[in-house]
Every structure is written in C-alpha cells, then in structure tokens.
Amino acid sequence: MNTSTGAVTSTDYIIHHLTNLTQGEGIWQINIDTLFFSLILGGVFLAIMGFAAHRASSGVPGGLQNFAEILVEFVDKQVKDTFHGRNPVIAPLALTVFCWVFLWNLMDLVPVDLLPEFGKLLGVHYMRVVPSTDLNATFGLSLTVFLLIIFYSFKVKGPVGYAKELLTHPFGPYLFPANLLLNVVELVAKPISLALRLFGNLYAGEMIFILIALMYGAGWLLGPFAGVLQLGWAIFHLLVITLQAFIFMVLTIVYLSMAHEESH
C-alpha cells in the first residue's frame, strides 16, 4: 500500500496510480514511463524473436524456435485468411502488433504496487507500467496503421481511383457529399475505435486491479477476499489481454487488406 506520506485517501491512491511520470507540459509532455516500458517490452519481443530467427534452422526445431514458429505461423494464417494480395509488410506488422500489444497488456498482471514501489526506492514517484492504459501508446499504434491505410489506398488505387471510391461509394456519384462524409467518418472511425477499444479494456482492467489493491487494506475480513478477487480477475484478465491483442491484430489486417481492395 502506498503509505509513504502517512494519511493517504483512497482517491489519492487511485489518482497516484493513474498519473504518468511526465516531462514537459501540454503538447510537449513526454510520458517517460509509457515510452520506457513500451520500448523495453518491444526490445524483449525483438530480442526473443530475433534470437529465435537468428538460430532458426530447417532441421529439428528446439523449444524457442517452436515457440517463434507457432507465433509466426499463427499470424501468417490470420493474414492469409484475410488478405489475398502480396504485401511483405502486413504479416510482420501484424506479428509486431500482436506481440507488442500482448506484452503491454501483460504488464497489467504485474501487481499494481510492485514496480511503482520499486521505482520509489530509485526516486521515481509516479509510474504507470501498462503502456496500453496510455492513450498515447494505443493511438501511436492505431495512427500508424491509419497512415498505412491511407498510404496503401493511394498506392494500390492511385489518387484518382481512391478519390473516386471516396466520392461515389456507396450511394453513386449523384450523392457525393453524403458519400464523402460517410467515407471520411468510416475512415476516421478506424484508428479511433482501434485505440479506444484497447485503451478502454486495459484502463478498466487496471482500475479494477487498483480497487482490489485498495481492498487489501480494508480489514481482516475483506483483505483475504481481495486476494481471491485478484486471482479471479487476473485469470479472467489473461483472456482479456490475449483477446485484445488478437483483436487489434486482426482489425489491423482487415483494415490494411480493405485498403488493397477495390470496393464494389
């Protein structure tokens, strides 16, 4: 429990847990903890997969290679099921999205006070360890995907073809203002829904972990009950974090493959 300053209310405790370690103000605010943990986790992903890829042999695969190949094959199957063109970026992108988001979400299962208390020993007083509970991180992913959607739409259909699709689909050329409005809304909704879905799920999950952590201090009766709750929620959350990573990956693939296809 966060009791370093003596009397701390529950609200203080919760707000403290939801405050980023920042540098700068306003638009120039850097969330150091988000960047730090997401980069570390990305490094972990790259290191493990890179090591497996470096030692990959076509002979009898070892445990690590099996693991890496299962991941790769799983992602490759998802991509092949949805996307029928040829694009060397989509599959590695999907793998990166899946693994990275999963690792972000996995940080949610670390007890909420463990890393912040450790940080306190090092003189760091604010720390949020789950990057996917920071809108900057989820929008960072979804806006990159958004840029790729626009890039591939232009590349595959050409400026004219893309403009024609935006203006004449789905109601025909005479209703082009309505078409444009609809298409722009649809386009903009993609990154927003991607980012907010992941953020919302993980933010809520983290919130519940924080509330459960508060409950540990609520006496002999509720304390042990909080342990049971935490275990149950963590087990359920295992499902949620995997599912969210999977959904983010699949939707990314779907959006990018839609960018490659002519609309009917």
Partner 1 sequence: MNIGITLIGQMLSFALFVWLTMKFIWPPLMRAMERRRQTIADGLAAAERSKLDLELAQKKAGELLHEAREQAADVLMEAAKRASGIMDEAKSQARAEGERQFLATRAEIDLEANRAREHLRTAVAELAVAGATRILEKEIDRNAHAKLLDSVVAKL
- In the bound state with partner 1, the residue whose beta carbon lies nearer, of 1 and 53, is 53
User: Going by C-beta distance under 8 Å and a sequence separation of 6 or more, which residues neighbour residue 236?
Assistant: none
Task: For residues 159 and 253, give the distance between their C-alpha atoms in angstroms, rounded to a whole number.
Answer: 22
Q: Write the DSSP string, 102-156.
A: HHHHHGGGS-TTHHHHHHHHTT-------GGGSHHHHHHHHHHHHHHHHHHHHHH
Sole binder of partner 1 in the list 16, 42, 119, 247 (CB under 8 A): 42
Q: Which of 87, 136, 183, 197 is catalytic?
A: 197
CA distance 89 to 156: 14
In angstroms, the Cα distances linking 29 to 16, 34, 136, 200 are 18, 12, 11, 22
Q: What 3-state class would DSSP assign to 261?
A: coil
Interface with partner 1 by CB under 8 A: which range of 117-125, 130-138, 157-165, 253-261?
A: 130-138
Which of residues 82, 134, 157, 249 is near partner 1 by CB under 8 A?
Answer: 134
Query: Who contacts 29 (Cβ-Cβ below 8 Å, separation ≥6)?
Result: 22, 23
Q: What are phi and psi of 21, to 5 degrees?
A: -80, 115
Binding partner 1 (rule: CB under 8 A), the pick from 17, 21, 91, 255 is 91
To the query of whether residue 179 is one of the catalytic residues in this protein, the response is no
Q: Respond yes or no: is residue 193 known to be catalytic.
A: yes
Give the residue with the Cβ less far from partner 1, 33 or 108. 33
Pick the binder of partner 1 from 13, 17, 21, 34 (CB under 8 A).
34
Q: Where does this chain touch partner 1 (CB under 8 A) — which range of 34-42, 117-125, 165-173, 217-225?
A: 34-42
Residue 92 or 224: which CB sits closer to partner 1? Answer: 92
Q: How many residues bind partner 1 (CB under 8 A)?
A: 49
Q: Between 69 and 165, whose beta carbon lies closer to partner 1?
A: 69
Q: How far is the CB of 163 from partner 1 (least distance, A)?
A: 26
Is 53 a binder of partner 1 (CB under 8 A)? Answer: yes
Q: Is 61 left (phi over 0), alpha (psi -120 to 50) or beta?
A: beta
Q: Does 66 bind partner 1 (CB under 8 A)?
A: no
Is there binding between residue 123 and partner 1 (CB under 8 A)?
no
Residue in 3, 5, 9, 57 binding partner 1, rule: CB under 8 A: 57
Asked whether position 88 contacts partner 1 by CB under 8 A, the answer is: yes
CA atoms within 13 A on the CB side of 131: 25
CB 253 within 8 A of CB 90: yes
> DSSP state, 24?
S
Interface residues with partner 1 (CB under 8 A) are 18, 20, 24, 26-31, 34-35, 38-39, 42, 45-46, 49-50, 52-54, 56-59, 61, 65, 68-69, 72-73, 76, 88-89, 91-93, 95-96, 100, 134-137, 139-141, 143-144
Could you give the residue numbers annotated as active site?
193, 197, 201
